[in-house]
Amino acid sequence: MNVIHSLESSFFYFRYGLFIAATVFLIQKIPNFIRFFGYALISTFIYCLIDGYYQFFFGTNLIGYSSLEESRLLLPLDDRLILGGLLARLFPLIIGMFVLLYGNRKFNYLYVGILLITTDVLIFLTGERTAFGLLIISTLFILFFISKFRLMRIITFIISILLVIYFSFTNEQVIERNFNQTITQLGLDSESEKINILSPQHENMFISAYKIFKERPIFGSGPDSFKILCGEERFDPNPMSCSTHPHNTYIQILTEIGLIGFSMFIFFVGWILFNVALFIYKLFVLGQRSIDDYSLCLYACIILSIFPLLPTQDFFNNWISIIYYLPIGFLIHTLLFNKDDQNEMAS
User: Is the separation of the CB atoms in 111 and 98 below 8 Å?
Assistant: no
Q: In this predicted structure, what is the pLDDT of residue 64?
A: 82
Q: How far is CA 50 from CA 44, 53, 54, 166, 277, in A?
A: 10, 5, 6, 20, 37
Q: If pLDDT is split at 50, 70 and 90, which confidence band does 346 have? A: very low
User: Is the separation of the CB atoms in 343 and 295 below 8 Å?
Assistant: no
Of residues 19 and 149, the one with the higher pLDDT is: 19
Q: In this predicted structure, what is the pLDDT of residue 305?
A: 94
Residues 6+ away with beta carbon under 8 Å from 50: 62
Q: In this predicted structure, what is the pLDDT of residue 5?
A: 61
For a pLDDT cut of 70, what percent of the chain falls above it? 93
How many residues does this entry show for the chain? 347
The pTM assigned to this predicted structure is 0.90
For a pLDDT cut of 90, what percent of the chain falls above it? 51
Tell me the pLDDT tens digit for each residue of 123-151: 999 888 899 999 999 999 988 898 877 88
CB burial string 234-257: b at 16+ within 10 A, e below: ebebeeebbbebbbbbbbbbbbbb
Tell me the pLDDT tens digit for each residue of 240-256: 888 889 999 999 999 99
Q: In this predicted structure, what is the pLDDT of residue 197?
A: 86
User: Is the separation of the CB atoms in 327 and 335 below 8 Å?
Assistant: no
> In whole angstroms, how large is the CA radius of gyration of the chain?
21
Q: Which of 62-66, 85-89, 262-266 has the lowest mean pLDDT?
A: 62-66
Q: What are phi and psi of 72, to 5 degrees?
A: -125, 155
Mean pLDDT, the chain, integer = 87
Q: In this predicted structure, what is the pLDDT of residue 48?
A: 93
Report angle CA 45, 128, 42 to the nearest 5 degrees: 5
Residues 6+ away with beta carbon under 8 Å from 307: 134, 137
Q: In this predicted structure, what is the pLDDT of residue 82?
A: 85
Label each residue of 74-115 as H, E or C: CCCCCCCCCHHHHHHHHHHHHHHHHHHHHCCCHHHHHHHHHH
Q: In this predicted structure, what is the pLDDT of residue 327?
A: 95
Tell me the pLDDT tens digit for each residue of 70-112: 777 888 877 778 889 999 999 999 999 988 887 666 657 788 8
Q: In this predicted structure, what is the pLDDT of residue 340?
A: 53
